[in-house]
Structure 1
Amino acid sequence: MKCGGCARGVTAIIQDIDPNAKVDIDLAAKVVSIETIANIEQITAALAKGGFPAQVQ
């Protein structure tokens, strides 16, 4: 992720799955922190499909 547009896209993908998810994005570090009740595999698959491949740490 390099810009606010990417951050909005990532947030939208996550909140499409869980509208109540809390999403915190650090663009400089390229890190997304999520508080959600959704399945993490579902989120990472949706992010990858949207062009944002993710790794869980």
Structure 2
Amino acid sequence: MQFQIDNMACGGCARSVTRAIHSVDPQAKVAVDLPSKRVDVVSGADEAAMAAVLEDVGYPPRRAA
């Protein structure tokens, strides 16, 4: 799954996003591309659960095109 997170601006933001995703699935593979503000996640977890936890920590995602 891919998310676009427009307010992700720095390494700290990327770490927060990664921690949030790992709180749903500790085994998830997360690749953050800060310049494009895109996050690629390989996980068996529900996409809605991932989106909800990102929203909860202040990084509202939208589906990447």
Give the TM interval when normalised to the shorter protein.
over 0.9
Identity level (%): 42
Q: Greater relative contact order (Cα 8 A, min sep 6): structure 1 or 2?
A: 2
Output the CA distance in 1 between the equivalents of 2:43 and 2:18: 12
Distance of 1:25 and 1:41 partners within structure 2: 19
Unaligned runs of 5+ in 2: 1-7
- Structure 1 residue runs of 4 or more that deviate by more than 2 Å after TM superposition: none
TM-score after normalising by structure 2: 0.84
The structure with more helix, counted as a fraction of residues: 1
What runs of 5+ residues in structure 1 fail to find an aligned partner?
A: none
Pairs aligned (count)? 57
